[in-house]
Amino acid sequence: MSNQHAFRSARLGACVAVALLAGHRLAGQQPPAPPAARTPRAAATSDLTGYWVSVVTEEWRWRMITPPKGDYTSIPLSDEGRRVAFLWDPQTDGSCKAYGAAGLMRMPTRLNISWQSDAVLKVESDAGQQTRLLQFAPTPQPGGRSLQGFSVAEWEPIGGGLAGRGGRAGGPPTPVALKVVTTNLLEGWLRRNGVAYSDATTLTEYWDRVAFPNGDVWLTVSQYVSDPKYLTAEYTTSMHFKRESDGSKWKPAPCRQA
Amino acid sequence: MRRIDPFRLALLAITAAIIASPISAQGPPDSGPPPMVELTGSWAMSNDEERLIRIDPGPELGNFTGFPLNAAGRQKALTWNATIQAVPEHQSRAHAATYSMRGPGPNFHMGEIIDPATRRLMAYTITGLFENANRTIWLDGRPHPSEYAEHLWNGFSTGEWENGALHVTTTHVKPMFIQRNGIPASPYAVMHEFFIRHGDRLLLISQVDDPVYLEEPMVRTSTFRWNPGQREGGLPQVEVAEEVPSLQQGDVPHYPLGSRHPEYADENKLPFEATLGGKETLYPEYAEKLKQLMTKQGPASGGSSK
């Protein structure tokens, strides 16, 4: 009798242990296995594609027309930058130099943004008919210098990854902004009147999309131009573009080759 | 040896299984509050756009370029006379929220109001604005007051997080201007702002929707840089002085209806009509029209519209 009872007790004890272990193992399954790496296209938390039109509400006099020679108001030009700006020949107005990466976004233009592949965002302008490729996985190394340069893109957590708070693991995905760093640029113009940036320029950009309650959707491109030759400090601007439903107003117009 | 009751042992096993199972069934933790970004601290303006307009000497009389003014807004703007600033009642006047984030400067400090009982963030504050028109952005879900409630220079602002950006809605702003040369804002204007932080940089996207004076909402963008240790300005001017001796008590400086201010257009060799603003003038198509107007106007020694 006592042996039988001891055996039953042992069996039940084993059941308890199994049940506890089972619970433990289930609980131990968290967190789930990490998901497969997503493509840059899939990792976007806002859609930048589509047609956008620049709305010139700032610096109108310097953007809607070609300003007079020597008008470099607001630009932190160095002595060398000033010297180069005064070399500008008004006969070259309309040159493609005004449509390089550090000047293009300030032109009155429309943009057509699309994914060329899962890792390359293509930005086309109708003004000057330029194409920028923003490469998330820049496997090809930069080749020769060009007007649009070599652009390396990444999704950066909004706040810069330094300042976030309040989110929880398993919550909604951390919002990200498009950060682009462009080098390998040919010399170009910050303004159409020949205020130049040099080929040593590094252009850093953030691309943000917001939707206002009236239904308007806007894209803002913030630009930080660092040029050790022609600027004494970083040149900071931000340009805004309104989303259009289609490309019916797209009017390609070439720039003048030098 | 003490005997173990098999029924108690079975009960223990079931209890253990029940306790263990909810832990595993919880799945991912609840989503919690939407992610937010730290915005507190001192922020310094970046003035590489419209520097002379945003600081001093300020925007020129009759320079309405870049503003989607309607006919009423244009008419009111053309009657504005800068001498109004010298009237004693206006000398310490703050800038309304529809303009104060744009200029002069500002360098500002973003602070917090914490609920002393719950320690939850109730509001952000923005201090350092011109003539102390400091702002409070309520984050606790309170509604905006009745449309008949008092209007203030800083208006009434509420905020919520959207996709990593702080979206601020401001109503109840006193009628003033959206540019320091008299481009007006009515008390019916509603302002939406997005504050987006990128590391030590802050982007502010602002939209003023004014059904009285604008053909379409006015959008501007400004950038700031994190600047710890900065001392903000904005202290109130308290001493009122006689600035224009010819001003008599009760005078309201203004230009009469029907006035034109062609000086800005003349000085910059621009067609006068192009300087009057309007929705049409903001879009790329206008560059072509501008070119035609300038050709018609005659050779300009300054710029062209190519």
Per-residue pLDDT tens over the stretch B92-149: 889 999 999 997 878 999 999 999 999 999 999 999 988 888 999 999 999 999 999 9
Whether the per-residue pLDDT at B271 is higher than 70: the answer is yes
Name which of B21, B165, B199 is nearest A26 (Cβ-Cβ): B21
* Element holding B135 (H helix, E strand): strand B135-138
Closest CA to B185 of B233, B151, B147: B151
- Yes or no, beta carbons of A23 and B303 under 8 Å apart: no
Write out chain A residues lying below 8 Å of B179, CB-based: none
Residue of B86, B92, B83 whose CA lies nearest to B239:
B92
CB pairs under 8 A between A and B: 261
ipTM comes to: 0.86
Q: Are B36 and B165 in contact (CB under 8 A)?
A: no
Q: How far is it, in rounded angstroms, from Cα A248 to Cα A242?
A: 14
Instruction: Confirm if B204 and B101 have CB atoms less than 8 A apart.
Output: yes
pLDDT at residue A211, rounded to an integer: 98
Cβ contacts of B268 on chain A, cutoff 8 Å: 61
A59 and B219: CB-CB below 8 Å?
no
For A41, A101, B83, B182, the CA distances from A160, given in Å and listed in that order, are: 20, 23, 45, 38
Nearest alpha carbon to residue A214 among A238, A175, A243: A243
**pLDDT tens for the 258 residues of chain A, in order:** 445 555 555 565 554 555 444 444 444 455 566 667 789 999 999 999 999 999 999 999 999 999 999 999 999 999 999 999 999 999 999 999 999 999 999 999 999 999 999 999 999 999 999 999 999 987 777 789 999 999 999 999 987 654 445 444 445 567 899 999 999 999 999 999 999 999 999 999 999 999 999 999 999 999 999 999 999 999 999 999 999 999 999 999 999 997
Amino acid at B169: T
> A26 and B290: CB-CB below 8 Å?
no
Instruction: Give the count of beta carbons closer than 10 Å to the beta carbon of residue B248.
Output: 6
| pLDDT at residue number B297 | 83
Residue range A11-23, pLDDT digits in tens: 655 545 554 444 4
Q: How far is CA B301 from the centre of its chain?
A: 37
Determine whether the interchain pair A61/B268 forms a contact, defined as Cβ–Cβ distance below 8 Å: yes
Given a contact cutoff of 8 angstroms between Cβ atoms, the answer to whether A224 and A235 are in contact is yes
SS3 at position B76: helix
Length of chain A: 258
